[in-house]
Structure 1
Amino acid sequence: MPTLLITGANRGLGLEFVKHYAGAGWRVHACARQPEAPELTAVAGDVRRHKLEATDWGGIAALAQSLRGEAIDLLLANAGIAGQAAGDLGTIDPDVWAQTFLTNALAPVKLAEAFVEHVASSKLRLMIAITSRLGSISLNDGGGRYAYNASKSALNMGWKSLSVDLKGRGITCVVLHPGWVSTDMGGAQAPVTPPQSVASMTKVIAGLKAADSGRFFNFDGEALTY
């Protein structure tokens, strides 16, 4: 039975990932600030809920220790924030900028650092981070959203470094853009629903090969540039 560990599991894309993998018979370690959220507790299957703030470094380390010896086939760093208050010239708030970077760029790497042995001991050995094409320097033709875009660029670089450092351990590290999704962050006008996005991303994840480590994919499998 494969095992997933995911952050930001109580709503949006995270909740859909939990539903998908639990429904497919996986054991799911669902990490969230609100693990008792009704939507999450209602998910059937082997779902083990953990209270975790993405930037609680001690909490991450404690969770990794509590799961010592358990193989994690898929580590999915999903938690993120929009950082909208630091999005435009003239309104850039250093505190919001810093928190956006901590949550979107550093937290996923700290999660990977804490769970590298768990993933290395698994069969699938996958580390996936949910990023955004807005973090692509080469694709930036819209400007704005300074804190969010820069934090996702930093995440992409961190995950690329992971792919290099963990290659010898057979761990595949990939970043995925989920599309413009109608979550709390994406807004109701977004054209892609969470179930549609996750249905596509899980197909991409299932088809990953070791040679894909370090790559950046759209939710539909299209290769994106950094």
Structure 2
Amino acid sequence: MRLSRDRVLRAAVSLADEVGIGQLSMRRLAQELDVVPMALYKHVANKEELLDGMVEVIVGEIDPAAGGTDWKSAVRLRVLSARRVLQHHKWARQVLETRTKQTPAVLEYMDSFIGMFLAGGVSVDLTHHVMHAIGSRMWGFTQELFDSPAIPDGEAQAEVPPGVQAVRFQQMSVLYPNILQIATAARHDDDSVVGHGCDDQFEFEFTLDLLLDGFERLHSQAWTSKHAGPERG
């Protein structure tokens, strides 16, 4: 099969899914495609351009804005679609957080995301503040208060012996009793990225719905910010 930019990017996404982003290199990708490394540079200038292109691929997997529904439902469906894509590509959040270049695919996604609010009659002023508030949630992830330290690719989190855990809890109960009370309030999802024991999906949707409810209330009140300029159009 003839080598193309699209084939290179999709192969890189598949390889990252398989081995993790930390193991992805131009040489490893060339081996996967059965070409010499220099052949890749005809399609991507360097590793950073490769990563930008991989983001384009995963953004393309996010469902388009749903038609025939209200703006709030459309936004919710789009965000949860983005979240499913990121859950499928475990490395994607790390790459998204490190991108400094906004490629056409990223800009198109952001533009269409903003468009869902504007098409629903939400003012430009409120939509501006909405985008600040919703932040990375539009991509399907968020930086949580109780995030655990990042685990390098290929490394598993070591189990903490019960005795050590008990000592830690005892120390926290004296030094930081309120944090301990919140952190141990719910323990039912071992794979959570919010905090060990928290239901990651529930917490994500809870905050997403909280934000959307608030945006809807402000929209219905014809809310404007203090320094809002005149609407155009």
Q: TM-score, normalised by structure 1?
A: 0.33
Max radius of gyration: which structure?
2
Greater helix share, 1 or 2? 2
Instruction: Pick the structure with more strand per residue.
Output: 1
